[in-house]
Amino acid sequence: MTGIKAIAFDLDGTIWFGEQVAAGAPELVSYLQGKGIRVFYFTNNSSKSRRQVAEKLTRMGFAPRAGEVYTSAYATAVYAAENGVQDVYCIGSPGLLEELAAHGVQVLDDEEAARALIIGLDVEFNYTRLAKALRLLQRGCPAIACNRDRNYPVENDRLLPGCGAIVAAIEESFGVKVDYAVGKPNTYMMELLSRDWKLANQEILVVGDTYTSDIEMARRFGCPSVLISAEPKPEAAETIVVARLADIRKLI
Protein backbone atom coordinates (compact mmCIF):
# COMPACT_ATOMS: atom_id res chain seq x y z
CA MET A 1 0.00 0.00 0.00
CA THR A 2 1.70 3.18 -1.21
CA GLY A 3 0.98 6.88 -1.07
CA ILE A 4 -0.60 6.80 2.39
CA LYS A 5 0.20 9.94 4.40
CA ALA A 6 -2.40 9.59 7.15
CA ILE A 7 -4.46 6.91 8.89
CA ALA A 8 -7.85 7.60 10.47
CA PHE A 9 -8.51 5.02 13.19
CA ASP A 10 -11.97 4.30 14.54
CA LEU A 11 -11.97 4.15 18.34
CA ASP A 12 -14.80 2.01 19.80
CA GLY A 13 -14.11 -1.57 18.78
CA THR A 14 -10.82 -0.75 17.05
CA ILE A 15 -8.45 1.22 19.31
CA TRP A 16 -10.32 0.43 22.51
CA PHE A 17 -13.23 -1.45 24.02
CA GLY A 18 -14.67 0.77 26.73
CA GLU A 19 -11.79 1.20 29.16
CA GLN A 20 -9.73 -1.64 27.68
CA VAL A 21 -7.15 -0.73 25.03
CA ALA A 22 -6.86 -3.02 21.99
CA ALA A 23 -3.82 -5.29 22.08
CA GLY A 24 -0.80 -3.65 20.48
CA ALA A 25 -2.63 -0.43 19.60
CA PRO A 26 -0.23 2.09 21.23
CA GLU A 27 2.76 0.26 19.75
CA LEU A 28 1.18 0.28 16.28
CA VAL A 29 0.49 4.00 16.43
CA SER A 30 4.06 4.69 17.57
CA TYR A 31 5.38 2.53 14.71
CA LEU A 32 3.29 4.39 12.12
CA GLN A 33 4.29 7.80 13.45
CA GLY A 34 7.92 6.68 13.29
CA LYS A 35 7.42 6.06 9.58
CA GLY A 36 6.15 9.61 9.12
CA ILE A 37 2.46 8.72 8.86
CA ARG A 38 0.06 11.09 10.56
CA VAL A 39 -2.40 9.32 12.87
CA PHE A 40 -5.94 10.58 13.46
CA TYR A 41 -8.65 9.27 15.76
CA PHE A 42 -12.26 9.14 14.57
CA THR A 43 -15.28 8.31 16.68
CA ASN A 44 -19.02 8.45 16.16
CA ASN A 45 -19.47 8.43 19.94
CA SER A 46 -20.80 11.91 20.69
CA SER A 47 -20.65 11.65 24.48
CA LYS A 48 -17.16 13.15 24.74
CA SER A 49 -15.55 16.32 23.43
CA ARG A 50 -12.29 16.31 21.53
CA ARG A 51 -10.53 17.32 24.73
CA GLN A 52 -12.04 14.44 26.70
CA VAL A 53 -11.20 11.88 24.02
CA ALA A 54 -7.61 13.15 23.83
CA GLU A 55 -7.33 12.80 27.61
CA LYS A 56 -8.56 9.20 27.44
CA LEU A 57 -6.12 8.40 24.63
CA THR A 58 -3.27 9.85 26.68
CA ARG A 59 -4.36 7.82 29.70
CA MET A 60 -4.27 4.65 27.57
CA GLY A 61 -0.73 5.17 26.34
CA PHE A 62 -1.18 7.25 23.19
CA ALA A 63 0.12 10.76 22.58
CA PRO A 64 -2.46 12.54 20.43
CA ARG A 65 -1.37 15.89 19.05
CA ALA A 66 -3.55 18.97 18.73
CA GLY A 67 -6.27 18.54 16.14
CA GLU A 68 -5.81 14.80 15.61
CA VAL A 69 -9.09 13.80 17.28
CA TYR A 70 -12.37 13.99 15.35
CA THR A 71 -15.60 13.18 17.17
CA SER A 72 -19.17 13.37 15.94
CA ALA A 73 -19.82 15.90 18.73
CA TYR A 74 -17.08 18.16 17.39
CA ALA A 75 -18.19 17.67 13.78
CA THR A 76 -21.81 18.41 14.69
CA ALA A 77 -20.77 21.66 16.37
CA VAL A 78 -18.73 22.67 13.31
CA TYR A 79 -21.62 21.77 11.01
CA ALA A 80 -24.09 23.78 13.08
CA ALA A 81 -21.80 26.81 13.27
CA GLU A 82 -20.98 26.79 9.56
CA ASN A 83 -24.64 26.44 8.60
CA GLY A 84 -26.00 29.14 10.91
CA VAL A 85 -27.84 26.75 13.23
CA GLN A 86 -28.61 28.61 16.47
CA ASP A 87 -31.01 28.52 19.43
CA VAL A 88 -30.93 24.73 19.62
CA TYR A 89 -32.53 22.30 22.02
CA CYS A 90 -29.90 19.63 22.60
CA ILE A 91 -30.37 16.03 23.64
CA GLY A 92 -26.86 14.94 24.52
CA SER A 93 -23.98 14.83 26.95
CA PRO A 94 -21.85 17.54 28.59
CA GLY A 95 -19.18 16.74 25.98
CA LEU A 96 -21.53 17.67 23.14
CA LEU A 97 -22.60 20.83 24.97
CA GLU A 98 -18.91 21.72 25.42
CA GLU A 99 -18.32 21.48 21.68
CA LEU A 100 -21.42 23.50 20.81
CA ALA A 101 -20.39 26.26 23.22
CA ALA A 102 -16.84 26.28 21.85
CA HIS A 103 -18.22 26.92 18.36
CA GLY A 104 -20.64 29.63 19.42
CA VAL A 105 -23.82 27.59 19.02
CA GLN A 106 -26.41 28.78 21.55
CA VAL A 107 -28.26 26.03 23.43
CA LEU A 108 -31.66 26.72 25.01
CA ASP A 109 -33.44 24.79 27.76
CA ASP A 110 -36.87 25.90 26.51
CA GLU A 111 -37.98 23.74 23.59
CA GLU A 112 -40.68 26.27 22.73
CA ALA A 113 -38.07 28.98 22.15
CA ALA A 114 -35.62 26.69 20.33
CA ARG A 115 -35.38 26.81 16.54
CA ALA A 116 -33.48 23.56 15.93
CA LEU A 117 -32.92 20.14 17.50
CA ILE A 118 -29.54 18.46 17.94
CA ILE A 119 -29.47 14.81 19.00
CA GLY A 120 -26.47 13.05 20.50
CA LEU A 121 -25.85 10.13 22.83
CA ASP A 122 -27.65 10.86 26.11
CA VAL A 123 -27.44 8.25 28.88
CA GLU A 124 -30.20 10.11 30.76
CA PHE A 125 -32.60 10.19 27.80
CA ASN A 126 -36.18 9.76 29.01
CA TYR A 127 -39.83 10.27 28.10
CA THR A 128 -39.74 13.96 28.99
CA ARG A 129 -36.86 14.63 26.61
CA LEU A 130 -38.55 12.54 23.93
CA ALA A 131 -41.70 14.66 24.30
CA LYS A 132 -39.68 17.87 23.98
CA ALA A 133 -37.97 16.57 20.84
CA LEU A 134 -41.36 15.62 19.41
CA ARG A 135 -42.57 19.16 20.03
CA LEU A 136 -39.72 20.59 17.94
CA LEU A 137 -40.48 18.18 15.10
CA GLN A 138 -44.15 19.11 15.35
CA ARG A 139 -43.18 22.77 14.93
CA GLY A 140 -41.15 21.93 11.82
CA CYS A 141 -37.74 22.71 13.33
CA PRO A 142 -34.70 21.19 11.61
CA ALA A 143 -33.22 18.15 13.38
CA ILE A 144 -29.54 17.21 13.26
CA ALA A 145 -28.21 13.91 14.62
CA CYS A 146 -24.62 13.28 15.62
CA ASN A 147 -24.88 9.78 14.13
CA ARG A 148 -27.17 6.80 13.58
CA ASP A 149 -25.16 4.10 15.36
CA ARG A 150 -27.58 1.62 16.95
CA ASN A 151 -25.03 0.53 19.54
CA TYR A 152 -21.32 0.49 20.33
CA PRO A 153 -18.96 -2.13 21.82
CA VAL A 154 -17.48 -2.01 25.31
CA GLU A 155 -15.59 -4.52 27.47
CA ASN A 156 -16.38 -8.25 27.62
CA ASP A 157 -18.16 -8.37 24.23
CA ARG A 158 -21.01 -6.20 25.52
CA LEU A 159 -22.94 -3.64 23.50
CA LEU A 160 -24.54 -0.43 24.74
CA PRO A 161 -27.33 1.51 22.99
CA GLY A 162 -25.95 4.21 20.72
CA CYS A 163 -27.10 7.61 19.53
CA GLY A 164 -29.00 5.94 16.67
CA ALA A 165 -31.33 4.23 19.14
CA ILE A 166 -32.32 7.65 20.51
CA VAL A 167 -32.64 9.08 17.00
CA ALA A 168 -34.92 6.19 16.01
CA ALA A 169 -37.21 6.81 18.99
CA ILE A 170 -37.49 10.50 18.15
CA GLU A 171 -38.12 9.84 14.46
CA GLU A 172 -40.76 7.24 15.23
CA SER A 173 -42.56 9.61 17.60
CA PHE A 174 -43.56 11.88 14.68
CA GLY A 175 -43.01 9.66 11.64
CA VAL A 176 -40.26 11.78 10.09
CA LYS A 177 -36.51 11.46 9.58
CA VAL A 178 -33.89 13.85 10.92
CA ASP A 179 -32.65 16.34 8.35
CA TYR A 180 -28.97 15.42 8.63
CA ALA A 181 -26.80 12.85 10.41
CA VAL A 182 -23.26 14.19 10.75
CA GLY A 183 -21.23 11.12 11.73
CA LYS A 184 -20.13 8.01 9.87
CA PRO A 185 -21.00 6.74 7.28
CA ASN A 186 -21.56 10.35 6.24
CA THR A 187 -18.29 11.77 4.90
CA TYR A 188 -18.45 15.06 6.81
CA MET A 189 -15.69 14.19 9.30
CA MET A 190 -13.46 13.06 6.42
CA GLU A 191 -14.16 16.34 4.64
CA LEU A 192 -13.06 18.22 7.75
CA LEU A 193 -9.89 16.14 8.04
CA SER A 194 -9.03 16.62 4.36
CA ARG A 195 -9.67 20.36 4.59
CA ASP A 196 -7.85 20.87 7.90
CA TRP A 197 -4.71 18.98 6.90
CA LYS A 198 -4.75 19.46 3.11
CA LEU A 199 -4.82 15.72 2.43
CA ALA A 200 -6.15 14.15 -0.76
CA ASN A 201 -8.70 11.34 -0.48
CA GLN A 202 -6.28 8.62 -1.62
CA GLU A 203 -3.68 9.75 0.92
CA ILE A 204 -5.92 8.79 3.87
CA LEU A 205 -6.41 5.20 5.02
CA VAL A 206 -9.49 4.49 7.15
CA VAL A 207 -9.25 1.63 9.68
CA GLY A 208 -12.30 0.38 11.55
CA ASP A 209 -14.32 -2.59 12.75
CA THR A 210 -17.73 -1.74 11.27
CA TYR A 211 -18.42 -2.23 7.58
CA THR A 212 -21.63 -0.18 7.49
CA SER A 213 -20.02 2.75 9.30
CA ASP A 214 -16.24 3.01 8.93
CA ILE A 215 -15.80 1.25 5.60
CA GLU A 216 -18.91 2.74 4.02
CA MET A 217 -17.65 6.22 4.94
CA ALA A 218 -14.33 5.45 3.25
CA ARG A 219 -16.11 4.11 0.16
CA ARG A 220 -18.26 7.22 -0.16
CA PHE A 221 -15.26 9.50 0.32
CA GLY A 222 -13.14 7.57 -2.15
CA CYS A 223 -10.28 6.58 0.12
CA PRO A 224 -8.72 3.17 0.89
CA SER A 225 -9.82 1.24 3.96
CA VAL A 226 -9.03 -1.69 6.22
CA LEU A 227 -11.70 -3.65 8.09
CA ILE A 228 -10.74 -5.36 11.35
CA SER A 229 -12.66 -8.64 11.39
CA ALA A 230 -11.84 -12.16 12.50
CA GLU A 231 -14.35 -13.56 10.00
CA PRO A 232 -14.56 -13.22 6.20
CA LYS A 233 -16.84 -10.43 4.96
CA PRO A 234 -18.13 -11.23 1.45
CA GLU A 235 -19.70 -7.76 1.21
CA ALA A 236 -16.31 -6.11 1.85
CA ALA A 237 -14.73 -6.89 -1.51
CA GLU A 238 -13.50 -3.32 -2.00
CA THR A 239 -11.60 -3.19 1.30
CA ILE A 240 -8.71 -5.05 2.90
CA VAL A 241 -9.77 -7.33 5.76
CA VAL A 242 -7.35 -8.23 8.56
CA ALA A 243 -8.00 -10.28 11.68
CA ARG A 244 -6.09 -8.10 14.15
CA LEU A 245 -5.23 -4.44 14.47
CA ALA A 246 -1.54 -5.33 14.69
CA ASP A 247 -1.73 -6.76 11.15
CA ILE A 248 -1.79 -3.18 9.83
CA ARG A 249 2.02 -3.23 10.13
CA LYS A 250 2.19 -5.69 7.23
CA LEU A 251 0.39 -3.26 4.94
CA ILE A 252 2.43 -0.11 5.53
Domain ranges of the chain: 6-21+38-72+184-230+239-250, 73-181
Cβ-defined contacts of 96-104 (< 8 Å, 24+) = 96/46, 96/47, 96/49, 96/120, 96/121, 96/146, 98/49, 98/51, 98/52, 98/73, 99/49, 99/50, 99/71, 99/73, 99/74, 100/76, 102/49, 102/77, 103/77, 103/78
Structure confidence at residue 183 (pLDDT): 98
Span 54-64, pLDDT tens digits: 999 999 999 99
Q: How much is the mean pLDDT over the chain?
A: 96
Structure confidence at residue 111 (pLDDT): 96
Structure confidence at residue 237 (pLDDT): 74
CATH number given to 6-21+38-72+184-230+239-250: 3.40.50.1000
| Alpha-carbon gap, residue 152 to 44, rounded angstroms | 9
Indicate if 73-181 has the same CATH topology as 6-21+38-72+184-230+239-250: yes
| Alpha-carbon gap, residue 10 to 71, rounded angstroms | 10
CATH number given to 73-181: 3.40.50.1000
Residues of the chain with pLDDT under 70: 234
Structure confidence at residue 252 (pLDDT): 86
Span 66-86, pLDDT tens digits: 899 999 999 999 999 999 999
